[in-house]
């Protein structure tokens, strides 16, 4: 599997989850989008890099989500979401590559 697929899934989960929650006013609905992106990314990372790396990248994904809540108070909501999405994407590209 191409490393870009789980990277895109993680980005879609973080950005999409925030967008859905903000647009609908229903935070749990945003959580569904976040979870869907996370599950899709985990499966891709697992296929590419194995379960241990997939678990580490999922921890990064969830940690990024959590950190965005603290970061938004300093730089605003959209910049926070985009910053943590970028960090997660870099991690995915670095660690989510196919096993050799």
What is the pLDDT, as a whole number, of residue 100? 63
What is the pLDDT, as a whole number, of residue 1? 67
- Helix, strand counts (H, E) of the chain: 4, 0
| Other C-beta atoms lying within 10 Å of the C-beta of residue 3 | 18
Query: What pLDDT, in 10s, does the model give residues 33-64?
Result: 999 999 999 999 999 999 999 999 999 999 99
Kindly list the domain boundaries of the chain, sorted by start residue.
4-95
* Cβ atoms 89, 39 nearer than 8 A: no
User: Which residue has tokens 């006013």?
Assistant: 25
Short-list 57, 35, 31, 34, CA closest to 44: 57
Task: State the number of CA atoms in the 13 A half-sphere of 67 facing the CB.
Answer: 15
Question: Global pTM?
Answer: 0.92
């Amino acid at each position: 599997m191409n490393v870009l697929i789980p990277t895109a899934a993680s980005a879609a989960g973080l950005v999409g989850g925030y967008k859905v929650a903000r647009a609908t006013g229903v935070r749990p609905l945003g959580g569904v989008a976040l979870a869907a992106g996370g599950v899709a990314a985990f499966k891709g990372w697992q296929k590419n890099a194995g379960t241990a790396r997939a678990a580490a990248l999922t921890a990064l994904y969830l940690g990024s989500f959590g950190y965005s809540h603290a970061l938004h108070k300093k730089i605003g909501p959209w910049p926070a979401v985009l910053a943590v999405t970028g960090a997660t994407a870099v991690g995915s590209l670095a660690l989510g590559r196919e096993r050799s």
